[in-house]
Amino acid sequence: MGQILVIEDDAACRDIVRRILAVKRHTVIEAATAEEGLRLARAERPDLILTDINLGDADGFSLLAGVRANPSLATIPVIIMTGRSDATDMRRGMDGGADDYLQKPFDTLSLLAAVEARLQKQEALRREALETQARLLAMLEATPDLVGLARADGQLVYLNNAGRALLGLTASAPVTQLALADLVSPASRADFVEHALPAARTHGVWSGEGFLRRLSGLEMPVSQVIVARYTEDGRVDSLAAIMRDLTDQKQVENAMSLLAGALMRSQDDERRRIGRELHDSTAQALAALEIELARVQRQWGGAETPAGANLTQCLRLAKQSSQEIRTMSYLLHPPLLDEMGLVSAVRWFLDGFAQRSGIEVTFKATDNFDRLPEQIELTLFRVVQECLSNIHRSSGSKTARVELTRERKSVRLEVSDQGRGIPAEVLAEFQRVGVSTGVGLSGMRERVRQLRGTFQLEPGSPGTRIWIMLPVPATLP
C-alpha cells in the first residue's frame, strides 16, 4: 500500500483511477490542476504521482519539471497519463524525468502493473538508501575524529561518539541545542562565524586550525574542516564539520621547537667561541708570523736574493691567511654586532659581501635605529647572511636590496633580488609544509618562529622577496 497523488482535470477519469487503486488499498490524493498538484505534493510527499498531460492551468510537462526541480520531491516516481498517441510527447516526458508512460484508455491491470512496478522499485531504492546511510553512520562512529552534521544555519543535528567524548557529552545527551560555533573556543568564535563558516558556504570547503572547547571549559588544539552540501539550485543544504585532536602533535611540535631553539643557541654560542678563538689566538699567531718573516727577510738582504724572494712569497701567504682568518672570525660572529648594533654589523657585512661577490647591494635602514635585544639582532643578522649567500649561490642576480624598518612594536627586514627566482614547485612545497630542498630557508623560518615572528617568501618579477617581522618587547623604545 502506498500514498498516490492523482492529478487529472477530468473528474470522471480521477474517479476511475481512484477506484482501480483502491483494489490494492492505496491511499489516493486528488488534484484537478497543476498548481494544486504541486501544493499537495509538497505538503503530503506521496509515494508516487500520476498526472495527465492536459491539465486546466498547465501541461503535465511543466508539473513534471516543477517536481524534479524541488529537492524534496525529486526522487518521487512520476507516471504520465495521456490520450495522445504522439511518440514525441512520450519522448519529451521521459526526457523530462518521467518514470513511466500510460496510454489512455488503459485497463485495470495495466495501471496496477505500472503503479506496483514503480512502488516496488521505489521501495528497493529506499531500502538501499537506508543501508547506505547505516554504513555511513557506522563509518562516522568508527572514526576517532569529531564529526558533526548541521543544518545550513550551523545548528547541529548529529554528533558522533568521538565528538561527544571530546566535548564531554554523554551518549544520550541531545546535541540539537548546540551550533557548530559552540564547538570552538570563545576567543576564536567570532572569527569562526564571520570567516570560516561563510568561506565554507561560498567555496564548498574551509580548513584551518583552532581550539575546541569542552563542556568543562578545557580547550584543546584541533584541525578543522567544514564542508558544505548544496541543493540542485545552488543553495546550502547542510554543513559537515570534522575536527581532529592535535594535542599530541602540538606537544611534539613544541618539544621539537624547544630542541631546535636550543640547538640554534648552542650553534650561535659555538660560532661566537670559535670566532673569538680565531681572532684572539690564530689571527694573533699569524700576525706574529708576519712580523718574524719580515724580520728574517731583512736579515737575508731583502727580496733581491733567492731566499729573500721565497720569504716574500711566504710573507704574502701569511698576510692572506691572516686576512681570511679575520674575515672568517667576523662572519662567525662579528664584534660589531655586540659593540655597535645591528645596522653597523649589517652594513659591514654587506660591504665585504659586495667586494667578495661582485653583487651590488643597496642597504636602507630607518633613521635612529635603536639597539634591539641580542637574540633579535642575531636572528636578523643571520637571516641577512643566509639570504645574501643564497643570492650569490643560486640567484644569478647582479643586484640585491636589504631594508631594515624599525617600528614602535616591531622590526621588519626585507631582502630582495632580481635573479631567476625560486622554482614554482619548490616555492609551493615550502609555503605548504615549510620545508625546502636545502636547510637555509627552513633554518631562517625556524629562527623567526622561535621569536614568534612572521616569515614570508614571495616570488618577485623577477627575483625573490623575503621579508620577516619580529615583535619587539614593549619595554624597549
- Strands 410-417 and 27-31, bridge-based pairing: unpaired
At 226 the pLDDT is: 93
> Could you please report the per-residue DSSP string of 329-352?
HHHHS-HHHHHT-HHHHHHHHHHH
Name the CATH architecture for the domain at 3-135: 3-Layer(aba) Sandwich (3.40)
> Could you please report the per-residue DSSP string of 356-415?
HH--EEEEEE-TT-----HHHHHHHHHHHHHHHHHIIIII--SEEEEEEEE-SSEEEEEE
Between CA 97 and CA 79 the distance in angstroms is 10
Between CA 145 and CA 218 the distance in angstroms is 18
At 432 the pLDDT is: 63
Residue 122, SS3 per DSSP: helix
At 438 the pLDDT is: 53
C-alpha cell at 360: 651590488
At 53 the pLDDT is: 82
Torsion angle of C-alpha atoms 252, 253, 255, 261, degrees rounded to 10: 160
Name the CATH architecture for the domain at 143-245: 2-Layer Sandwich (3.30)
Cα–Cα distances in Å, from 405 out to 65, 234, 434, 459?
Answer: 65, 48, 25, 21
State in words which class domain 336-477 has.
alpha beta
Q: In CATH terms, are 3-135 and 336-477 the same topology? A: no
| Strands, E assignment, 422-463 | 454-459
Q: Hey, what amino acid is at 185?
A: S
C-alpha cell at 399: 643586484
Between CA 203 and CA 225 the distance in angstroms is 12
Give the domain ranges of the chain. Answer: 3-135, 143-245, 255-333, 336-477
Q: With a cut of 50, which residues of the chain have pLDDT below it? A: 477
For 206, list phi and psi in degrees, rounded to 5: -140, 145
pTM: 0.52
At 171 the pLDDT is: 80
